[in-house]
Structure 1
């Protein structure tokens, strides 16, 4: 899946997308803290509901996860190239994704699930829950078990990786021919903008009315219709640098489309708040706008990262390595801090400050301690300790996980 014509000289590592990945996951942490205060359902809620958060969070929701999958796809192309074969690539991803997923479900998700059932009246402490009641299947205190909570992203990413590897293993030549044709086709005119927008919007709108909206690896058709194409886009872009040419040419138009789409999304959220159900035509317009914004904001941010952030810094490698451990720990930490600070009824600004500083400090400790303990490193998504001792740009590229 590589287009050999390369009009733009590019280094092996794209520092700009590294910074974009770091920023995207930092934004995810702030977003989840915002969910504690936003007037939408979440794991745990404060008594301070802030309606002013609706507009900014509605502007983030359509593209934040699509962007993460696109960045992950870009990194996956480099990981596959360094691995030398699809089989070695998949084995490395099994280690770097499935082990942290299993660890998270054993050691981190129980914290979230305990708070969920405590909020419904569960009478026992965390240890009792962890050692007895967490290991069940089915409904318990109004919650379905088992659950991977925020770690669904890791499960989806591994699944998309497995689909990619299976395709390359069984029909690589046809896939490469189709990819080469598609890259050539997308570089003509402004197809790089309108074609993905139309296809993603049609899929989003159609699935809205054809299947019930559900979450879960085997039921989330609306999610897969967006996230898998974005993952594959990142993968193809990394192997076909000539795609950067139309992206660079049309990013301002993409920003304009994103602005219009964002206005539609915000207008619908404000007009039909909470559980209010809009008319079908409004729902269709909103779903189409979500898909359009997911694509166009990804285009804009990729180009900005390429233009303005594609430079190294002494902290980049540390921040890049810390992303996955921070991701694993951040949501249980947010939930637990919120749970234990609720009785104090802090004013909203103080509560927000406590959540930001507490989450950052605990996640940093989780990473800094875990990286120094050899047997903990694979559990939190890090490579062997020797990888850090003599790290090079190419080795750092191999170490990207998400």
Structure 2
């Protein structure tokens, strides 16, 4: 019996917009959180930011890959594998390439100048950057390769997972019946066990790099979450259970995070194996319970055709591509003015939101070639250039 949901899931669209919107807050927070490395740091760093940043850090990208898996299930429903791969490749690889060449370079430039290892002058930097210049060690993230994709690593990973999933689809579809049987606390606990295994087996030997080829811990985590999303996208029964469990899920997530955070403060520098395993267990359970809570509450509250969804669905991908470069550039411009720990971050956030809106609505959505470079569908001939074509972006 096919239990896949057939109606339009407005909550998935809304949650995807919210999840990517949180990246603006999170990456702005990275400029100001104490003791966490980033491409540029303000002198107004604060230790208190570590708690809310840690709370979000453990599941923010998992949520995005989970939603990408749900969307992939929807896209594969009426597509052949070849058509799906062709469409995803076009709508992911072109924005990735364009972003790396045009949008991202300001980030290594600012980082290199801030580190005192790159000479000021963006024009000369671009000439060196595009010509394969050998950079000083530690000049910027990715200096050893001569270039970087920085925050656009997600697009590269999503493309790889999108190629893998059609190959594994027969196996995953056979496992669907087993997954659909998860109920109550088994749904809140069993999906966390593979995440615990990856922490124990891979985390120490393969620290996070976002460099694709050597990032096996991240691949195990994110691809598994991506597959979870695929199963969710094919199952109405799982969504009904997540809806029912939304209150215990959020309570469990908060309790687990409290226990996990307490352990982090107690763990010695070289903890025994049992202590590491306990911390990883709490972390894995927290991540999955938090994801389950978010999905359940979104299904309850956001599955409505809000007026802002049409604009948001098309705008979220360009905003994602643009936002980190704008954060870093605006912070770089503002730091010399010493505006204080309140005004400066407010201006960084406000300037980033304003910049994304002006570039997206004033330019990117109106120019056909730029639409393609930012993963947007072509404009329909019947619509004026400034209006949404009603088609979804590549990371839907």
**Counterpart check, 1:217 vs 2:212:** yes
Q: CA deviation at 1:46?
A: 0.1
- 1:268 and 1:381, CA in 2 relative to 1: closer, same or farther beyond 3 A? farther
Structure 1 equivalent of residue 271 of structure 2: 279
**Counterpart check, 1:401 vs 2:395:** yes
Q: CA deviation at 1:282?
A: 4.1
**Counterpart check, 1:251 vs 2:239:** no
Structure 1 equivalent of residue 153 of structure 2: 152
Q: CA deviation at 1:211?
A: 4.1
Q: CA deviation at 1:5?
A: 3.4
Of 306, 325, 331 in structure 2, the residue corresponding to residue 332 of structure 1 is: 325
TM superposition score normalised by structure 1: 0.88
**Counterpart check, 1:297 vs 2:293:** no
Q: CA deviation at 1:134?
A: 4.5
Q: Please give the alpha-carbon distance, in whole angstroms, between the structure 1 residues aligned to 2:156 and 2:393.
A: 18
**Counterpart check, 1:44 vs 2:37:** no
Q: Is the 8 A contact 1:120 1:141 kept in 2?
A: no
Q: CA deviation at 1:397?
A: 6.5
SS at match of 2:370: coil
- Identify unmatched segments of 5+ residues in structure 2: none
- 1:386 and 1:277, CA in 2 relative to 1: closer, same or farther beyond 3 A? farther
Q: Please give the alpha-carbon distance, in whole angstroms, between the structure 2 residues aligned to 1:22 and 1:235.
A: 19
Q: CA deviation at 1:44?
A: 0.5
**Counterpart check, 1:376 vs 2:370:** yes
Structure 1 equivalent of residue 59 of structure 2: 63
Higher relative CO (Cα under 8 Å, sequence separation at least 6) belongs to 1
SS at match of 2:15: helix
**Counterpart check, 1:238 vs 2:233:** yes
- Identify unmatched segments of 5+ residues in structure 1: none
Spell out the pairing of 1:124-143 with structure 2 (5 A cutoff). 124-136=120-132, 139-142=135-138, 143=143
Q: CA deviation at 1:346?
A: 0.9
Q: Is the 8 A contact 2:129 2:147 kept in 1?
A: no
Q: CA deviation at 1:12?
A: 2.7
Q: Is the 8 A contact 2:206 2:214 kept in 1?
A: no
Spell out the pairing of 1:166-245 with structure 2 (5 A cutoff). 166-168=167-169, 172=170, 174-180=171-177, 182-187=178-183, 189-245=184-240
Structure 2 equivalent of residue 53 of structure 1: 49
TM superposition score normalised by structure 2: 0.90
Q: Is the 8 A contact 2:70 2:229 kept in 1?
A: yes
Q: Please give the alpha-carbon distance, in whole angstroms, between the structure 2 residues aligned to 1:76 and 1:388.
A: 28
Q: Please give the alpha-carbon distance, in whole angstroms, between the structure 2 residues aligned to 1:344 and 1:361.
A: 20
Q: Is the 8 A contact 1:370 1:377 kept in 2?
A: yes
Of 307, 313, 317 in structure 1, the residue corresponding to residue 300 of structure 2 is: 307
- 1:336 and 1:301, CA in 2 relative to 1: closer, same or farther beyond 3 A? same
Q: Please give the alpha-carbon distance, in whole angstroms, between the structure 2 residues aligned to 1:362 and 1:388.
A: 28
**Counterpart check, 1:4 vs 2:2:** yes
- 1:149 and 1:388, CA in 2 relative to 1: closer, same or farther beyond 3 A? farther
Structure 2 equivalent of residue 165 of structure 1: 166
Structure 1 equivalent of residue 88 of structure 2: 93
Q: Please give the alpha-carbon distance, in whole angstroms, between the structure 2 residues aligned to 1:33 and 1:149.
A: 15
- 1:61 and 1:212, CA in 2 relative to 1: closer, same or farther beyond 3 A? closer
Q: Is the 8 A contact 1:79 1:397 kept in 2?
A: no
1:291-338 alpha-carbon deviations (Å, 9 max, x no partner): 222211111111111111110122211011111100000001101111
Structure 2 equivalent of residue 350 of structure 1: 343
Q: Is the 8 A contact 1:59 1:262 kept in 2?
A: yes
Q: CA deviation at 1:355?
A: 0.5
**Counterpart check, 1:360 vs 2:350:** no
SS at match of 1:352: helix
- 1:250 and 1:219, CA in 2 relative to 1: closer, same or farther beyond 3 A? same
Structure 1 equivalent of residue 21 of structure 2: 26
Q: Is the 8 A contact 2:245 2:296 kept in 1?
A: no
Q: Is the 8 A contact 2:244 2:296 kept in 1?
A: no
**Counterpart check, 1:81 vs 2:77:** yes
Of 255, 262, 277 in structure 2, the residue corresponding to residue 260 of structure 1 is: 255
Q: CA deviation at 1:372?
A: 0.2
SS at match of 1:219: coil
